[in-house]
Structure formats: C-alpha cells, structure tokens
Amino acid sequence: MLALFPVLNTLLHTLPEALPEIIDALPPSTTTLSARAQRAIQKTYSDDTDAGILFDALRVYYATAAASIGRCIAPDCDVAAGSGAESLLQLWPQRRAKRLLQENCSRALDTISGDTEPRDLFRDFYQQLFPRDVRHANGEFYTPGWLIELVLDRADYRGESVALLDPACGSGGFLIHAARRLRNRRDLLSVISGFDTNPLAVLSARVNLLYALGPDAKNTATPPKVYLHDCVLDDNTFGRFPVIAGNPPWVLWDNLDATYSRNHEQAWRSYGLFNLTSREAQLGGGKKDLSMLVTYAAADKYLADGGRLVFILNQSIIHSRSGSGFRTFKLGADGPPLAAVHFDDLSATSPFDVRVRAAVLSIDKGRHTVYPVPYTVWTKTGDTLHPVEKLAQPRGGICGPWQITDEAQKEDPRNTPVPDAPVTPDYTARTGAFSGGANGVFWVSIIENRGGTALVHNLHSCSKHGIDQLTAEVESELLFPLLRWGGVSRWHAEPRGHILFVQEAETRKPIPEMFMQTSFPLAYRYLKHFETALRNRKSAIIRRMMQRTAFYTMFGIGPYTLSRWKVVWRRMDKEITAAVAGPADICGVEKPVIPQETLVFIACGDACEAHYLCALLNSPQATERILSISAPGGKSFGTAGSIAHLRLARFDHSNPTHLAIAELSEKAHVSESFRRIARQQIAEIVQRHMFTV
C-alpha cells in the first residue's frame, strides 16, 4: 500500500495559490491568537497579512481538504454535518485553486490499494499546515502510537464491542487505535465516540473513522459518532461510557482566554480543584492545568459507575501544590470517589515534541483510592519499552505530594505514611525575587562606577517580551549583586550581573513613588522609561500589587531577601545542588546577593549555619527524598514547599557533628578536588547520626 501521508502533503502545493483566493473571500477576523502564535503564523506565511486572517484562511483550506477526502471515501455521507466546519466550507467560492485541491484529494485516494488499516490520515498534513507554536498554544500534542496502545492496555480495551469515549479526541488517534482492536470493524460506528471543541478535529476524526471502515464506507450514510462538544460546559446528551481514554488538552489556567476561564471557574470550584489559599496560589500553587478539570468532568458526567478512565496527564498532578485538589480523588464535596489504580511515569521516554513530563493515570469510578498505588517507571531504548515497578503514596496527608518507593520497601515499617498532622519545620525556604516577566528592566550590568551613582545598561534580552536596551545613570545604593540560575551549582554560587532593587524588604512593598522621585531621581527616571512595559506585565499577583503600590513592584521580597548569608539551590533541576552565597562587592560596598525567582534559598544567621545547611542539602539522602515526592527537572522539583519534607534540624553551634559537616561544606567550596570526598563523608555522617533528611 502506498502511504497516504506523503500524497496528502502534496496538497500543500496548492496552498500558495489558494491562500489569496480564500483571504479575498473572508470577513474581518475575530480570532484571538497569542503573540507567540501570531509570530509563528506570520513567519511561516506572510509578515504583511494579519495573523488572524491567515489563521482563518488555513482553517478553511484544511476543512476543504478534509471534507473532500471524506466525500471520496464515503460519497453518501455528509461528513461535515454538525461538525461545526460547515460555515468554514461555505467561505471559499468555487474557484481555480479550490477545484485543484479537490481534484488532488481525489487523486490522492486513487493511489490507495485495498489495504485500509486504520490510521490518522491528516497528522502530518495538519502539522505542516499549522506551525508548532499555534498547535501548542491550543494544547494540541499528537500522541505517538505506542503510547496510545499503552493507554488502551491500561483501560483493558480488548476488542469486544464495548463503548469507548475520547472526550478531547483531536483528529482521532485513540479512536483509530481502538477501531483496530475491534473484532468486527463495522462496530466502530456504534461503540466508538469522540468529542472535541475544534471543528477541524471533529471533521478529521470522522474522516479517519470512515477510512477505518474500508470498503463498507462506500455504503455509509451516517457520520461516525464524533461531535462538536465541550465535555466540561455542555450537558451530557450521549449517555455514560464504561471506558474513557485520551490525552486531554494541556493548557495552564493563566494561558486560557479570559472568557473561557470565567465560564469554567465554577466547574473548577465545584470539583474542589480550587482549594488553595490566596497566598499558596501566589506562590505557584495556582498553576492549574486544564487537563485536571477535563479529567474530573469526564469522570463525573460521562464515565459509568464502575467504569475506567485512562488519561495522559502532566506528572505535576502528583507532586505540585496546584494538584492538591486533584489528589483528593473525589468528585466534589458530595460526589462519588475515584480510585487511582495505576500510574505510569513516562518522564524518560519523551513522547512529545516538547519537553514535558508525561504520565498515564488510570482511574476507576465509585471506589476509594487504596495506597500505595502501583507506579511504573518507563524507559525507552529504540522502540523497546522497559518497565520498573515501584509504589506511590502521599506524604503529609491525603492531598500531599506522592512519594515514590521501591516495591521491596512496601512492608518496611519505616515507610509508613506521614501522619496528616502538620509538622512545623525548623527552616523556611524562600523563592527569589520575581519581576513578573520584567527581568530585562531590573537586571542590569554596571559599566562605570561614578561614586554614589553608576552607569548601567539593562540586560534587555532576559525578558521574553520586547524590552529596548537603555544606558542610564542610577544611584548605586539601589544596585545589588544578582544571583541567577546558571550561576549556581553544587558548592559554588557566583553572581552574574546586578539587580536594581527598589523594594523595601521590611514592608515587602516597593519604595513609594514620592520618595523615589526625591531621593532616587535617576533610578526613577530609568524606571519611568519602561513604565508601559512594567504596567503590561501579565502576572496576576504583580498586577494586583501594582494597583495598591507602584508600577515597579516585585514579588517574593521580604526581610529574608537581604540576609547576608544564604544557602541557595536551583528549582527545576535534576537533583539538589546547593551552595552558600555570601555578600559581594558592589561599587566598593559589600552587599547581600539577591537570587532570582528560579532559585530557592534559606536565610541564615552566619556563614557556619549556611554551610551546615548546604552540606545537608547536598547529601545524597536529601536528593533521594526530594526525588521521591517530585519529578526531576519538573516545575515542582526543589521548590520552597518541597524542602519542608526534609525537616532539617536547627543548627546548633555547640553540636560537634553540625560543626563537622559545616566544615566539610566550607572546604568543598574552596577546593574542587575535595568535593566528591566531602559529599561521601557528609552522606556517612547523615546516615550515622540519622539526620531527618
């Protein structure tokens, strides 16, 4: 059989002639695209045409191609009826390029022999037509076949005529693989269903399922059961399903359209997925992902009692604060329980074309979760998957982050779950200074010390959004050494650049504008130059703070920020790599370093205490404990909250063991050759004295 994918890709040859035809016929665009998606579309197609118009034209082109393929496969079936794509199909008049496209679609199918193994006909075509940044902004990630098969295996979908639903089906990858398993392929019209909110996805999935029917499609007049439907907001008129499987959209709450977010907010709250205090949300716990809500809504509204749901989700759901409500595994205050029956860790397999930590969660409806939950870690060599079986259970209460242990430790009495009662740690970790996306304004490099003032230029490239470069004179009193993520490694912390620090650490607020104008007029003039960019920061907490204070406010500032001695480490790393950060010279004055927001630190009373904590944090035992409750490289790894699970004992200047490991850390900071030996000796001391790391 000649593969259809390359043939469909030849349809792109018609695109240069088709786009002007379509654009001429389109009404003004009302499409809202992210700035990143706009840039991607214009870079790919045209800088001179509005990105919204281009996006609309591409949708019309794709819909026309998909509907044409569908008519060739099933001539008696109105494949677009009720898909939401009908209006798109009416926008392009019957002109030369449209006729060429339809003819090419017919020729493409003529090249297919009698083998009609179910497959996604449109995957490569869609990916080439719509730039990657556009697809990812909508949470669209194509799932590889091996991963779909794993999901269907976990769902125990074996080919009997059992109803299956994918409530966010995209072009139908899961539906296609489910159709392959059916003993009677004709059953797919009655037992396989899909929903999506994208008309192009609905149209594509229908055509793919018609293709899966083979010769029977020629006599099919009714489209497959794939519908334009929002599984969260829309009422269920389709009944309940014993099996739900899929890969729901991964879109952070902050990135959702404002109207869409408002419409869904009540659903979040009704399922108990918004269960954090405002302070916890500000500190990162509010980074909810839409996939959480889709999972609960699908289980609540569409999963039959006793049925099984298997979804591909972000691994952060079992580790992050934002997933604490999800980990109740209960559909609201009065709803039925959900049993997490298996968790597959796919972090090492990289199944998607972006760096995400994917996982597969299997849930049964109507039963309570029994811990520990079976937990499989997968690695991949070529096309071969290798499983390692482990166990998972929550720490610090039923909603706490999951700790991962070996199966052999299951009966070890030392591995009993931590009681629900909260434990107050001796040390509190803090996150570094957060500019809300304006690093390119606050981060500067000193060009010249002018005695009382300094000539600086801003590190404009350190902001994601366009910040122009400016060379200006500012008061040196407001300049502090800046510690960045890349400047920290185990036993070494090196400031890189400087930060314009215009905050009052004691009050946790910015210096008042009136005082800035009179006492620091140069710095104020510098900040006024960037006022528009600063006021346009998207961070919700920064915007709320600006309403109450000044336009140059930052978050995460307190008395601890200006502590002379700190032990610091990197968030989102693969292991804990801590270092001691002491004061550094700025324009002839010794000042405390200020870490950026991707660093975490503990403020210390003196260098000895900092080295004691640094030694404990760099011990293999500390990394092992953090790895048991968070994924390496993930956003929840090494966070300020996760360090509470180490329960670091308060430093005692009279304790010889504390002093001994502090001395090992101090030597490791000075001598690179001693670092490996120091870590080994620290590990032995920690093991021998049973430090609670």
Whether residue 304 is predicted with pLDDT greater than 90 in this model: the reply is yes
Q: Cα–Cα distance between 201 and 213 in angstroms, integer? A: 19
In the sheet with 565-570, reading across from the earlier edge strand, the strands are: 430-431, 599-604, 565-570, 579-581
Q: How far is CA 541 from CA 254, 463, 600, 642, in A?
A: 11, 18, 19, 22
pLDDT at 539 (0 to 100): 86
What is the domain partition of the chain in residue ranges? 431-689
pLDDT at 258 (0 to 100): 66
Q: How far is CA 257 from CA 140, 170, 204, 229, 249, in A?
A: 16, 19, 25, 18, 14
pLDDT band at 284 (very low <50, low <70, confident <90, very high): very low
Q: Cα–Cα distance between 147 and 690 in angstroms, integer? A: 42
3-state secondary structure of 24: helix
Q: Nearest-5° angle of CA 314, CA 320, CA 326? A: 75
Least trusted range by pLDDT, from 6-15, 110-119, 289-298: 110-119
- At which residue do the structure tokens 């409530």 appear? 167
- At which residue do the structure tokens 């786009």 appear? 19
3-state secondary structure of 250: coil
Whether residue 422 is predicted with pLDDT greater than 50 in this model: the reply is no
Average pLDDT for residues 175-203, to the nearest whole number?
93
pLDDT at 139 (0 to 100): 64
CA end-to-end span of the chain: 60
Q: Cα–Cα distance between 522 and 474 in angstroms, integer? A: 5
Q: What share of the chain is helix, strand, coil (3-state, %, to 5)?
A: 40, 20, 40
Q: Cα–Cα distance between 311 and 245 in angstroms, integer? A: 6
Average pLDDT for residues 378-397, to the nearest whole number?
88
495 or 249, which is more confident?
Answer: 495
Report the half-sphere exposure of 263 (CA within 13 A, side-chain side): 11
* % of the chain at pLDDT higher than 90: 59
Structure tokens at 313: 């989700």
pLDDT at 51 (0 to 100): 87
Are 441 and 458 contacting, i.e. CB atoms less than 8 angstroms apart? Answer: yes
CA 464 to chain centre: 17
Q: Nearest-5° angle of CA 359, CA 365, CA 366? A: 145
Whether residue 74 is predicted with pLDDT greater than 80 in this model: the reply is yes
Are 136 and 252 contacting, i.e. CB atoms less than 8 angstroms apart? Answer: no
Residue 8: Cβ-neighbour burial (10 angstroms; 0-12, 13-18, 19+):
buried
Are 364 and 258 contacting, i.e. CB atoms less than 8 angstroms apart? Answer: no
Long-range contacts of 558-564 (CB under 8 A, 24+ apart): 558/430, 558/505, 558/508, 559/505, 559/506, 559/603, 560/430, 560/505, 560/601, 560/603, 561/430, 561/433, 561/503, 561/505, 561/592, 561/594, 562/505, 562/592, 562/594, 563/592, 563/603, 563/604, 564/592
- φ and ψ at residue 290, rounded to 5 degrees: -55, -30
Q: DSSP string of 86-142?
A: HHHHTSS-S-HHHHHHHHHHHHHHHT--S------SSHHHHHHHS-HHHHHHTT--P
Mind listing the pLDDT tens digit for each residue in 430-484?
999 999 999 999 999 999 999 999 999 999 888 877 789 999 999 999 999 999 9
Q: How far is CA 436 from CA 218, 551, 555, 558, 596, in A?
A: 57, 12, 8, 16, 11
pLDDT band at 557 (very low <50, low <70, confident <90, very high): very high
Average pLDDT for residues 501-520, to the nearest whole number?
95
| 3-class DSSP string for 324-359 | CCHHHCECCCCCCEEEEEEEEECHHHCCCCCCCCEE
User: Residue 372, preceding bond cis, omega within 30 degrees?
Assistant: yes
Q: Cα–Cα distance between 418 and 579 in angstroms, integer? A: 29
pLDDT at 243 (0 to 100): 97
Mind listing the pLDDT tens digit for each residue in 594-642?
999 999 999 999 999 999 999 999 999 888 888 777 777 777 788 888 8
Are 154 and 344 contacting, i.e. CB atoms less than 8 angstroms apart? Answer: yes
- φ and ψ at residue 440, rounded to 5 degrees: -65, -10
pLDDT at 692 (0 to 100): 52
Average pLDDT for residues 42-70, to the nearest whole number?
89
Are 192 and 206 contacting, i.e. CB atoms less than 8 angstroms apart? Answer: no
Task: Give the orientation angle of helix 620-627 with respect to helix 675-689, to 10 degrees.
Answer: 70
Whether residue 407 is predicted with pLDDT greater than 80 in this model: the reply is no
Average pLDDT for residues 526-555, to the nearest whole number?
93
**Pairing, β 192-196 against β 225-228:** parallel
pLDDT at 113 (0 to 100): 44
Q: Give the chain's mean pLDDT.
A: 87
Q: Which residues contact 486 (CB under 8 A, 6 or more apart)?
A: 496
Are 89 and 65 contacting, i.e. CB atoms less than 8 angstroms apart? Answer: no
Mind listing the pLDDT tens digit for each residue in 224-239?
999 999 999 999 999 9
Average pLDDT for residues 304-315, to the nearest whole number?
95
CA 608 to chain centre: 38
CA 43 to chain centre: 25
Residue 603: strand pairing partners: 566
Q: Cα–Cα distance between 649 and 623 in angstroms, integer? A: 17
pLDDT at 567 (0 to 100): 98
For the CA atoms of 193, 195, 198, 201, the dihedral, rounded to the nearest 10 degrees, stands at: -20
